[in-house]
Amino acid sequence: MDDSTNNRYGTRSAANPTQLAEASTTIKQEPIDEDVPDSRPKEPSAATMQQEASSSNCSSRDPLADEIEFGETGISFQNAFFNVVGNEIKTENIIAEEIEDNGDIVGSSTKRRKICEEDSGDDSSATRSTQQSACTMNPPSNSSDVWHHFERMENAGKCLYCSQVIRHSKSSTFSLKRHLASKHMEISQGRTQENISSLRDLKSYLKQQSPTTVASRFGAKEHLKSYSVETKETLDDNLLKFISKECLPFSTVDSDAFKQFCSGLNPNYVIPSRNIVAEAILKEKYVKSVQRVKDTLANTTHVALTLDEWPNTDSTTFYALTAHYIDGNYTFCSSLLECSEFDVPYTDMNIAQWIRRVIDDFNVTISNVAGIVTDNRPHKMSAVRNLNLKHLPCFAHTLNSIVIKCITHTIGDVIEKIKQIIACFKANNTATSKLAKVQTQLNLPRLKLKQDIPSRFTSTYVMIERFHQNKGPLLACLESMQMQHTLQSKDWTVMEQTINVLYNFDCAAKIASSEKHVMPSLAGLMIQILIQKTSDLLNGDLEDSVHNMARSLITDLSAISDPIVNQCMLLDPRMKRHSFENKDEMYAQTYDTIVELLAPFMATFDTVPDVKTEIATDPYRQYLFSDFINKVNVVERETSNPDLKAKRELDEYISAKYIAMTADPLLWWKQNESRFPSLYKLVQHMFCIPASSVPCERVFTKAGQLYDDKRARLDPKHVPVMLFLQQNEF
């Protein structure tokens, strides 16, 4: 410890209990202000001091060390030690746990005797005696500067900044200092010295200052106030959202840089440990989120499901099941029910049992499930049949599989030539640099070549389009670098025509993947439009391979016909009868089916009062009105037939005005509920069904980030929980 620190304690000498009784205690008294009450106790006698010293081993409490609290800051001036030099009273705080290199404790009688002897200089023996007596009269107790930042408690201290209670031993305040150093790094632990001449002046000075000034003098900050339990929970929620949404590891909370960043935002916030986040907060939020989804599904009458699977890179397969429904505001909503590892054989029975177990966990009955959307794999379709539910093939998967098959069987040789050239450029940095240089020389955009993903036709389309856009630079590079290839001029024509044919399909795929909820009616309309636009291209001059591809696309698309899709198109106020142009037979079948579905919603035969009972009490009325009443009852019985009422309501809807394609059909039905009450109930049942299982694929996109890209070490048991919280916006 430096000399300046030692000199602070140089005015105090050692004394044993016997010497304390004999020591003189001559302290020069200063005049007392009459306006300020003299709170200092009278000087004890030598006998009293000897008795207290012998009983407490020099640990008697200094009467001048009374604690004084100022305002709301909780800053206290306690156990202040003072000594007398000449006519001045100086204050000092003793840090009991500071130890010098030689083993002497700073503030101990042995060390202070050495300092007094070394620094006495020209001081008179009387002055030294006065200093020693003053020192021995008021031994310090727990007077560390750390108490400027804590409220004193029994064997503990309450932090004035975060209100956390820190326990400490009787002889050390190290735990309090460690708390300040780790949780409140910006707080200064040094002493605050003021040019004040006496202890009474110091007390008076502090009393006159505002709480803000006192807090600033002692290193406290007024704005760093403790927060409530609700605020703590909100901060924990935000932390978990940050980790889950960004797919970050739980060890992020242990990072020193992250702790420093959070401390700068809110020094009062105590960051939970990694284990607390993973085992406590994560599970708590998961349980609450599950209950919230259950409560939401309990208030819905019809639910549609989507099922999909995702094979991981380590041969682990995950299955996901999502629920889709229309809420009280008549908007589409989706909730992930479960995404978990499927560790049993992928048979139709096991899949059906897994689906039933998941929907039972969320209290969803089979009768409320409007249908399940899956791809066209046989084991999934069979699982849906085992559950006696309606199956709707995924529009996106169906379209993708049709286009890939047609491309492979017709222009597959051209696709292979393109892939080989792209692979050569990807593997040769010189060729890549040469291509970029030629693009610059020709004032063309620097477009990089892209390799396709065989399982996605959209990537094949982008590959062909990008390759054809670089036709000039590619031919120049191939010729200048003498690279061998088998491309012919005919192949470039095939590429151009293929781009024209596949452009419509690429637009349909983007619409299906970009919208949050694709209705079956929109999917059915897009199929009809694709057939029409592809048929129009057949009238042009196409290469044989491209012509065969277009013909195959039309044939496969025309084979897609699902009753649910047709019914949704007729019930969509944007389409109705126009969606069945030149398809009168299909329209008639769909019309009759909707009438049958409406019948249960219609009222049964109205109860017609018996004529004899109605007019039996009045013979004159019976004679005069009986024929008329019979005719009215016959008409009422005929018009109250459920099928007739269903047809009348359906015809009135079809004759209503169409709405724009950009309008919301659900909103239209909500506004016309009273006008078409039975159709409204049927629409609620059918419109909750999505056209594709894209929501499940979005889940697997997150799963890939969690399990492959960013979180390869994530415990598999945490994957379902993290995905559930991500998708359901806890």
- Residue 639 DSSP class: H
The burial of 151, by beta-carbon neighbours within 10 Å (0-12 exposed, 13-18 middle, 19 or more buried), is given as middle
Q: Which residues contact 441 (CB under 8 A, 6 or more apart)?
A: none
Judge if pTM exceeds 0.85.
Answer: no
Dist CA 664 CA 547 (whole Å): 38
- Residue 142 DSSP class: S
If you search the block for the tokens 């049709």, which residue do you land on? 402
- pLDDT value, residue 623: 67
What end-to-end distance do the CA atoms of the chain give, in Å? Answer: 55
Chain centroid to Cα 427, Å, comes to 40
For residues 52 and 361, which has the higher predicted lDDT (pLDDT)?
Answer: 361
- pLDDT value, residue 80: 39
User: Is it the case that residue 189 has pLDDT exceeding 90?
Assistant: no
- pLDDT value, residue 278: 84
- The token duo for 290 is 């599950």
- pLDDT value, residue 341: 82
pLDDT digits (tens, 9 = 90+) for 48-71: 444 444 444 444 444 333 433 333
User: Is it the case that residue 542 has pLDDT exceeding 80?
Assistant: yes
- pLDDT value, residue 17: 42
For residues 670 and 95, which has the higher predicted lDDT (pLDDT)?
Answer: 670
Using pLDDT thresholds of 50, 70 and 90, give the confidence band for residue 108.
very low
Dist CA 482 CA 475 (whole Å): 10
| Of 293, 298, 549, 587, residue with least CA distance to 410 | 549
Beta strands in 28-125 (DSSP E): 68-70, 75-77, 81-85, 88-92
* Alpha-carbon torsion (255, 258, 263, 269), positive or negative: negative
Using pLDDT thresholds of 50, 70 and 90, give the confidence band for residue 617.
low
Using pLDDT thresholds of 50, 70 and 90, give the confidence band for residue 312.
low
Q: Give backbone dihedrals phi and psi of 636, rounded to 5 degrees, phi first.
A: -65, -40
- pLDDT value, residue 43: 47
- The token duo for 217 is 């003098």
- The token duo for 573 is 């106020």
Tell me the pLDDT of the chain averaged across its residues: 74
- The token duo for 410 is 């017709």
What DSSP letter does each residue of 200-245 carry, written as one string?
HHHHHHHHHS-HHHHHHHTT--TT-----HHHHHHHHHHHHHHHHH
- pLDDT value, residue 117: 46
pLDDT digits (tens, 9 = 90+) for 388-431: 999 999 998 999 999 999 999 999 999 999 999 999 999 989 99
Per the rule left: phi > 0, alpha: psi between -120 and 50, beta: everything else, 132 is alpha
Contact 281, 273 (CB under 8 A): no
User: Is it the case that residue 193 has pLDDT exceeding 60?
Assistant: no
User: Is it the case that residue 318 has pLDDT exceeding 70?
Assistant: yes
pLDDT digits (tens, 9 = 90+) for 514-540: 777 889 999 999 999 999 999 999 988
Q: Give backbone dihedrals phi and psi of 39, rounded to 5 degrees, phi first.
A: -90, 0
What distances in angstroms separate CA 547 from CA 235, 291, 500, 539, 544, one per listed residue? 61, 55, 12, 10, 5
Q: Give backbone dihedrals phi and psi of 654, rounded to 5 degrees, phi first.
A: -65, -35
If you search the block for the tokens 């329209």, which residue do you land on? 587
Q: Which residues contact 589 (CB under 8 A, 6 or more apart)?
A: 566
- The token duo for 292 is 């919230």
Stretch 108-133: mean pLDDT? 44
The residues with which 159 forms a beta bridge, in sequence order, are 150
User: Is it the case that residue 323 has pLDDT exceeding 50?
Assistant: yes
Residue 98: its H or E element: none
User: Is it the case that residue 606 has pLDDT exceeding 60?
Assistant: no
Least trusted range by pLDDT, from 34-43, 367-376, 694-703: 34-43
Dist CA 372 CA 308 (whole Å): 11
Single-letter amino acid code for the residue at 424:
C
The burial of 110, by beta-carbon neighbours within 10 Å (0-12 exposed, 13-18 middle, 19 or more buried), is given as exposed
User: Is it the case that residue 221 has pLDDT exceeding 50?
Assistant: no
User: Is it the case that residue 727 has pLDDT exceeding 60?
Assistant: yes
- pLDDT value, residue 342: 82
Task: Give me the percent of the chain exceeding a pLDDT of 70.
Answer: 67
Dist CA 719 CA 714 (whole Å): 7
User: Is it the case that residue 207 has pLDDT exceeding 60?
Assistant: no
